[in-house]
Amino acid sequence: MKTKKELRSAYRQLRKSLNQEEVEAKSKAINFQFLNWLKDQDPIQHFHLFFPIDRFNEVNTFYIKDSLDQKGKTLYTSQVNKLNTEMETLKLPVDAAFFLDEWGIPVPQESIIVSPSKIEVVFVPLLAYDKAGNRVGFGKGFYDTFLGKLRPEVIKIGLSFYPPEDCIQPEPHDIGLNYCITPEKVFTFSK
């Protein structure tokens, strides 16, 4: 079994090998799979999105944002508070304009810091995940800390260009996924 460090390195290389057209095509396919999943989840209104760091070839979640905007859903994102390094929840206005922060993360120009208490679904960034819903992130722990403060029933959805690994050894602070959406299918994990 590969260590988290080995998986991070391997998946960074895999993503680096994708060209921009592949990233966009796979991101659109993930949005299509998500919309199929969403058909059975109509009552859900409050979605927390991460936005892609282009240089890391992350899933372009702006397709999901646009789809949710069209459906009239309420959207949130986060930014890291520089003082305490915790993630603050931002409510996104419809038609939000974005700028890139010092890490290259798209951040809304106008937003309101709110309590995360209404969030029903969180899209979780990752590098790799396994067949049980364990994930490998970028190693900073921001999302595990954030997820740990949400209600336990909040749905956690990973987005990945790749199929799952067989097994990733979770650490005690790790919070697993309920689903992971790939260009080909939606993986469901029992939690």
Cite the beta strand spans of the chain per DSSP E: 46-48, 74-80, 87-91, 98-100, 106-108, 112-114, 121-124, 128-129, 135-136, 155-159, 179-181, 186-188
- Residues tagged in the binding site annotation for ATP: 4-8, 135-143
> What gap in Å lies between CA 40 and CA 36, rounded to an integer?
8
- Residues tagged in the binding site annotation for substrate: 58
- Residues tagged in the binding site annotation: 4-8, 58, 135-143
3 state SS for 71-114: CCCEEEEEEECCCCCCEEEEECCCCCCEEECCCCCEEECCCEEE
Do you know the residue count of the chain?
Answer: 191
